[in-house]
């Protein structure tokens, strides 16, 4: 007991001593989920606690994750799966707890140094982008060291680290890829920045066995008030003598009330995990769902944006993508008109997406989405009405299927409470596992509020489809869901 008392005294003394310079902050995200898994309604609980301490120019952070059990939101469970298959799939969801992140950073006027878990990026991400995405549960973060001197005319990134292998085989559970990188940016002339980088990626292929891949890249950026221009080229070679190339370029020109934008991509054998390749289309879609991004593709995109005045905005965007024999293709058209008043606004959007794959699958897919959004105030309470009428058509060896997916959403906020309700229906049959059956409804509602000034509470109940969902003024990438979800986020 005396030892505990003594330890507490030491902690209190230390914190008080450092109080003027030491700053603690953090966030605790707790989520309780009760989800329909067809054979049973399953309960899940997750707590993600992130704490950081700031002392002068040093910052130390820790993140602890606790799952009981781990909810695999992307685990696709459908009615046509047998009970045994579902049970087997659910067995993979186990209780887990671990330190997800730990780091120490030092930042001065010209130096940024860190050790531990970190995200890294070179240029637009073509060469390297190691990141964590909570919504999609993607994790390519590095554990290692990072040094970044930054001066007016130049900056360097020098880092190395370990990245958890994405090979799902049990033998790779504790195996790591190794990465080392050097990147330099030189701002020799005003508005123009040149850069070059070198990356060594050692991909683990068996215990103590690696496939070494080296990447050399160059980049050029030009920025001015009438024109922005960016271009990047990278070439890679690995132990298997596979040579890859990636070229990405874009320009934006600001001419009075018009903004003109163009982009071009050309990727070959660049379908690797550490690259985050620009898609070069408004929908952000890969060439075709079963086609590896970066394996073999080329594409162009153009956009015209017209803002005649503060109230009106017109956008039209068109993109085409193809592989080297044009058997895999994508086309995407997006247009938007927005009119803003002081107290309300109206936005009309239209999007067409077409994908074709005659290379390794005989399929054609089309998606047409008209959308209308009204946003206004009733006695200081914001109201949002959104309606879309999506049409999907698919032509495969198994036949042609088409269906409509009308969706209506309304959000209203009164005082400290916000309520959002969305109804989506399917008219027509579909073979795709992500879609539902003819006549199926997805009805879901969320109530959100803030308590104690620092705690955000959100309660969702019902069914919703996946994708970017903007509800009660907050946007998230959601996976398909059916059940109850309570999330409580406290910042301190």
Q: Which of 411, 424, 446, 464 binds another protein (CB under 8 A)?
A: 411
For another protein, what does the binding mask look like between residues 72 and 111, x meaning CB under 8 A? ---------------------------------x-x-x--
- Looking at the Cβ atoms of 124 and 211, the one nearer to another protein is 124
> Does residue number 474 form part of the binding site for another protein (CB under 8 A)?
yes
Judged by CB under 8 A, which of 289, 327, 339, 476 binds another protein?
476
User: Does 475 contact another protein by CB under 8 A?
Assistant: yes
Least Å distance between CB 439 and another protein?
Answer: 30
Name residues contacting another protein, limited to 357-386 (CB under 8 A).
373, 375-377, 380-382, 384
The correct pick among 29, 30, 273, 396 for binding another protein (CB under 8 A) is: 29
Closest alpha carbon to 351 in 281, 407, 286? 281
Q: Quick one: 123 or 244, whose CB is closer to another protein?
A: 123
| 332 binds another protein, rule: CB under 8 A | no
**Is residue 2 close enough to count as binding another protein by CB under 8 A?**
no
Exactly one of 119, 137, 239, 360 binds another protein (CB under 8 A); that residue is: 119
* Three-state DSSP string of 355-389: EEECCCCCEEEEEEEEEEEEEEEECCEEEEEEEEE
Q: Phi first, then psi: what are they for 80, rounded to 5°? A: -85, 0
Give 91's contacts (C-beta < 8 A, 6+ positions apart). none
Q: What is the DSSP string of 308-326?
A: SSSSEEEEEEEEEEE-TTS
**For another protein, the closer CB: 427 or 457:** 457
The yes or no reply on residue 8 touching another protein (CB under 8 A) is: yes
> Please, which of residues 128-147 interact with another protein by CB under 8 A?
129, 131-132, 134
Contacts of 451 (CB under 8 A, 6+ apart): 457
- Distance, in Å, from the CA atom of 471 to the CA atom of 473, rounded to the nearest integer, reads 5
- Is residue 3 a contact residue for another protein (CB under 8 A)? yes
Q: Which is nearer to another protein, 121 or 484 (CB)?
A: 121
Number of residues that bind another protein (CB under 8 A): 89
**Residue 259 pairs with which residues in a beta bridge?**
254, 305
Residues 182-201 interacting with another protein (rule: CB under 8 A) = 187, 191, 193
For the chain, report the end-to-end CA distance as a whole number of angstroms: 30
Q: Does 42 bind another protein (CB under 8 A)?
A: no
Is residue 413 part of the contact set for another protein (CB under 8 A)?
yes
455 to 28, 450, 451, 485, 492: CA distances (angstroms): 9, 6, 5, 16, 9
- Please provide residue 116's backbone torsions phi and psi, each rounded to the nearest 5 degrees: 115, -145
Smallest distance, another protein to C-beta of residue 77, A: 27
Q: What residues numbered 244-303 form the site for another protein, per CB under 8 A? A: 250, 252, 254, 259, 261, 263, 276-279, 284, 303
Tell me the DSSP string of 46-103: EEEEEEEEEETTEEEEEEEEEEES---TT----TTS-HHHHHHHHTT---EEEEEEEE
Segment contacting another protein by CB under 8 A, of 88-96, 217-225, 288-296, 327-335: 217-225
Residues 11 and 89: their CA atoms lie apart, in Å, by: 46
Contact call for residue 459 and another protein (CB under 8 A): no
- Asked whether 281 and 321 are in contact (CB, 8 A), the reply is yes
Q: Which of 93, 228, 354, 482 binds another protein (CB under 8 A)?
A: 228
Residue from 9, 13, 17, 23 touching another protein (CB under 8 A): that is 23
* 400 exposure class (CB count in 10 Å sphere: 0-12, 13-18, 19+): exposed
Cβ-based nearer residue to another protein, 165 or 230: 230
By CB under 8 A, which span of 34-42, 120-128, 238-246, 322-330 interacts with another protein? Answer: 120-128
């Amino acid at each position: 007991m005396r030892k505990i008392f003594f330890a507490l005294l030491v902690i209190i003394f230390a914190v008080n001593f450092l109080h003027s310079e030491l700053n603690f902050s953090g966030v605790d995200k707790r989520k309780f989920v009760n989800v329909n898994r067809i054979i049973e309604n399953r309960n899940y609980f997750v707590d993600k606690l992130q704490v950081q301490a700031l002392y002068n120019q040093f910052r130390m952070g820790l993140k602890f994750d606790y799952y009981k059990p781990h909810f695999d939101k992307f685990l696709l469970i459908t009615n046509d799966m047998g009970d045994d298959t579902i049970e087997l799939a659910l067995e993979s969801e186990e209780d887990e707890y671990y330190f997800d992140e730990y780091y120490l950073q030092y930042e001065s006027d010209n130096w940024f140094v860190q050790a531990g878990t970190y995200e890294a990026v070179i240029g637009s991400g073509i060469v390297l982008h190691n990141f964590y995405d909570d919504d999609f549960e993607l994790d390519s973060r590095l554990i290692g060291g990072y040094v970044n001197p930054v001066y007016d005319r130049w900056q360097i990134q020098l880092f190395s680290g370990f990245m958890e292998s994405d090979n799902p085989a049990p033998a790779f559970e504790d195996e790591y890829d190794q990465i080392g990188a050097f990147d330099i940016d030189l701002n020799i002339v005003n508005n123009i920045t040149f850069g070059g980088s070198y990356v060594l990626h050692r991909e683990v292929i068996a215990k103590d066995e690696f496939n070494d891949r080296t990447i050399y890249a160059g980049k050029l950026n030009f920025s001015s008030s009438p024109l922005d221009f960016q271009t990047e080229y990278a070439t890679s070679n690995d132990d298997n003598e596979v040579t890859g190339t990636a070229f990405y370029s874009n320009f934006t020109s600001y001419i009075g009330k018009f903004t003109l934008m163009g982009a071009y991509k050309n990727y070959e054998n660049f379908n690797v995990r550490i690259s985050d390749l620009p898609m070069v289309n408004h929908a952000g879609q890969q060439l075709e769902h079963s086609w590896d991004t970066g394996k073999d593709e080329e594409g162009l995109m153009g956009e015209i944006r017209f803002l005649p005045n503060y109230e009106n905005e017109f956008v039209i965007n068109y993109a085409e993508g193809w592989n080297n024999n044009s058997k895999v293709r994508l086309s995407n058209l997006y247009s938007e008109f927005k009119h803003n008043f002081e107290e309300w606004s109206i936005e009309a959007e239209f999007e067409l997406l077409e994908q074709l794959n005659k290379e390794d699958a005989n399929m054609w897919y089309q998606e047409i989405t008209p959308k209308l959004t009204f946003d206004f105030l009733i006695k200081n309470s914001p109201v949002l009405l959104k309606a879309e009428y999506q049409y999907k058509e698919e032509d495969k060896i198994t036949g042609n299927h088409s269906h409509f997916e009308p969706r209506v959403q309304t959000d209203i906020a009164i005082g400290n409470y916000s309520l959002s309700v969305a109804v989506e229906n399917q008219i027509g049959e579909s073979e795709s596992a992500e879609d539902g059956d003819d006549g199926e409804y997805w009805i879901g509602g969320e109530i959100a509020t803030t308590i104690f000034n620092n705690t955000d509470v959100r309660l969702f109940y019902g069914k919703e489809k996946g994708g970017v969902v903007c509800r009660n003024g907050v946007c998230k990438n959601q996976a398909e869901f059916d059940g109850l979800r309570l999330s409580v986020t406290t910042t301190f």
